[in-house]
């Protein structure tokens, strides 16, 4: 096993602690990936010895799931459909804004604010 060392965390700056954390996480992910690959190789070898494949043992799981497609308009700014008396804007999607909720509580119709 590698030689153990101690790090005085109190002596490190925020930037050094962040760099240490990032390096440790990268190393952890690398070791995890190596361990997964080793287990997968061992499993493939044992299955081959028995004349089996992953599809025989775990039907439908040998092929990874297709990657989800992202919408082209994701994150796009929506057109404003309602404008309040003080210039507040709302696209009509999502939660009802406070200003419109207050206006409706006063008895005003939402359509009065439609652009």
Contact 81, 115 (CB under 8 A): yes
Tell me the whole-structure pTM to 2 decimals: 0.43
Rounded to whole angstroms, the Cα distance separating 50 from 44 reads: 10
- What pLDDT sits at residue 96? 94
Closest by Cα among 114, 68, 63 to 92 = 114
The tens place of each residue's pLDDT in the chain, 115 residues long, gives 567 778 888 999 999 999 999 999 999 999 999 999 999 889 889 989 999 887 777 777 655 667 788 888 777 888 999 999 999 999 998 999 999 999 999 999 999 999 9
Number of Cβ within 10 Å of residue 96's Cβ equals 12
């Amino acid at each position: 096993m590698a030689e153990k060392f101690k790090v005085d965390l109190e002596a490190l700056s925020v930037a050094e602690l962040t760099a240490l954390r990032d390096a440790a996480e990268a190393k952890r992910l690398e070791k995890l990936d190596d361990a997964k690959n080793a287990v997968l190789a061992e499993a493939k070898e044992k299955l081959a010895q028995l004349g089996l494949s992953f599809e025989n043992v775990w039907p439908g799981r040998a092929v990874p799931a297709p990657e989800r497609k992202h919408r082209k308009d994701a994150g796009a700014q929506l057109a404003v459909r309602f404008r309040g008396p003080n210039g507040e804007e709302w696209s009509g999607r999502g939660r009802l804004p406070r200003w419109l909720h207050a206006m409706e509580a006063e008895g005003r119709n939402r359509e009065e604010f439609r652009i």
